[in-house]
């Protein structure tokens, strides 16, 4: 199962507090959740935890000065690059001294200069003695830093390094991780939304061993499911036979085989969803009769009578209330005109057009080239991209249209 931190680049800032020994566990927990971690320290923090420990755990070099003085060929440690690299920065422990400098724009060490250069969300976990924590100037600093948009992870109460008991102990590493996870989830654009996605091919049985199918891999739908889940949605992925698997806390996979079983699964999920995307390559026809025994060959020609399957997307369009409905169209000629007709006929909010005339687009590969057409017939054409990037483009458009 993957955490919301899984794909994140995390920059951990360590300052000179006794709680710095806990930062080793914090680095470990971030790595365990799949994040990429870099560490920057204040020079004095090295007295509390060694750079070697943190670089071993983070699998990256740890920097604490603008230059490495012992190496005459040393390159400048670029705080701007480091600040821009990060998706989020966590300063833990954050001493009263560093927090005060952060609040006034002081940049007399690499950590502070990196903080000032960072454009990502910055979390800070204060750690200090209770009287320092309660001092009016410290409270003013907390307030100012939060007004700047930084996010405070409050210290806990308990026995402090001084032997005194009170608030000031840095939050436990596991608490810091869950605080950040919850904060990220709370701010995601699809938080609390349910997304239904159909994907993959369908197999329509001819007899116990044969079927009519197609070359869809399910990849595009799986990427859509992951994109939605990473935006905070709860996803139900109704997936036809596919060799691909998906493992994500927010994705429930419902495996199906035929158009009829896909339809049945959709009918029980559609009512409660907010966004539905039909990316499956559903068979339009199925054998009218399924032979109970394997069909034996004969010398004469052989034909199978086919009947229509239910158009699942059209059904969704006919019963939808507030759901935002997205369909796919794979066309070989007169592409935009055909896609617009489908959008209207199936009562869609958005249609994703693939043209088989575009190299790298369509069923099997890792890439796709799409054109998005909304209900006002506004058209956006995209370059050839990985299916992961296409899925993000599609959700950017969905979010934009839903918020319009």
> Mask: binding to ligand CTP, 318-357, rule CB under 6 A, as x and -?
---------xxxx-----------x---------------
Q: Give 179 or 328: the residue with its C-beta nearer to ligand CTP.
A: 328
Q: Give 112 or 329: the residue with its C-beta nearer to ligand CTP.
A: 329
User: How far are the Cα atoms of 201, 220, 269, 319 from residue 211, in angstroms, in the given order?
Assistant: 12, 23, 27, 30
367-368/285-287 β-pairing: unpaired
| In the complex, least distance from residue 172 CB atom to ligand CTP, rounded to whole angstroms | 47
Interactions with ligand CTP, residue window 297-316 (CB under 6 A): 309, 311-313
* Size, binding site for ligand CTP by CB under 6 A: 15
Interactions with ligand CTP, residue window 250-279 (CB under 6 A): 259, 278
Interactions with ligand CTP, residue window 162-201 (CB under 6 A): 198
| In the complex, least distance from residue 314 CB atom to ligand CTP, rounded to whole angstroms | 7
Is residue 247 annotated as part of the catalytic site, yes or no?
Answer: no
Given candidates 131, 249, 284, 383, which one binds ligand CTP under the rule CB under 6 A? 284
Burial (Cβ within 10 Å: 0-12, 13-18, ≥19) of residue 57: buried
Q: Give 18 or 273: the residue with its C-beta nearer to ligand CTP.
A: 273
| In the complex, least distance from residue 318 CB atom to ligand CTP, rounded to whole angstroms | 12
Q: Give 170 or 312: the residue with its C-beta nearer to ligand CTP.
A: 312
280 sits near ligand CTP (criterion: CB under 6 A): yes
Q: Give 56 or 318: the residue with its C-beta nearer to ligand CTP.
A: 318
List the catalytic residue out of 78, 106, 214, 396.
214
**Catalytic site positions:** 214
The site for ligand CTP (CB under 6 A) is made up of: 198, 259, 278, 280, 282, 284, 309, 311-313, 327-330, 342
């Amino acid at each position: 199962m993957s955490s919301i931190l899984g794909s994140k680049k995390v920059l951990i800032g360590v300052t000179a507090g006794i709680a710095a020994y806990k930062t080793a566990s914090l680095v470990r927990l971030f790595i365990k959740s799949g994040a990429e971690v870099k560490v920057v320290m204040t020079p004095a923090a090295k007295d509390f935890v060694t750079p070697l420990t943190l670089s071993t755990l983070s699998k990256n070099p740890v920097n604490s000065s603008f230059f490495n003085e012992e190496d005459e060929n040393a390159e400048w440690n670029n705080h701007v690059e480091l600040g821009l690299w990060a998706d989020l920065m966590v300063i833990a422990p954050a001493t009263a001294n560093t927090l005060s400098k952060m609040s006034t724009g002081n940049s007399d060490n690499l950590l502070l200069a990196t903080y000032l250069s960072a454009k990502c969300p910055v979390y800070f976990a204060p750690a200090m003695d209770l009287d320092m924590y309660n001092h009016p100037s410290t409270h003013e600093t907390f307030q100012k830093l939060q007004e700047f948009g930084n996010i405070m992870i409050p210290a806990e109460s308990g026995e402090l390094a001084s032997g005194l008991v009170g608030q000031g102990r840095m939050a436990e590493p596991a608490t810091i991780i869950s605080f950040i996870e919850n904060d990220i989830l709370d701010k995601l654009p699809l938080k609390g939304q349910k997304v239904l996605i159909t994907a993959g091919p369908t197999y329509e049985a001819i007899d116990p061993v044969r079927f009519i199918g197609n070359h869809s891999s399910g990849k595009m739908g799986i990427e859509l499911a992951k994109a939605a889940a990473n935006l905070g949605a709860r996803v139900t992925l109704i997936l036809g036979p596919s060799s691909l698997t998906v493992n994500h806390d927010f994705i429930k996979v419902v495996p199906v085989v035929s158009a009829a079983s896909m339809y049945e699964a959709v009918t029980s999920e559609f009512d409660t969803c907010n966004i539905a995307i039909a990316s499956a390559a559903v068979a339009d026809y199925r054998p009218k009769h399924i032979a109970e025994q394997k069909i034996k060959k004969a010398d004469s020609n052989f034909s199978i009578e086919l009947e229509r399957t239910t158009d699942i997307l059209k059904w969704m369009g006919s019963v939808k209330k507030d759901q935002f409905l997205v369909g796919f169209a794979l066309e070989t000629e007169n592409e935009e005109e055909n896609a617009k007709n489908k959008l209207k006929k199936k009562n869609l909010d958005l249609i994703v057009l693939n043209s088989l005339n575009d190299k790298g687009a369509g069923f099997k590969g890792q890439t796709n080239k799409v054109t998005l057409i909304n209900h006002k017939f506004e058209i956006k054409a995209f370059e050839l991209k990985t299916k992961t990037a296409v899925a993000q483009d599609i959700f950017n458009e969905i979010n934009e249209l839903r918020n319009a």
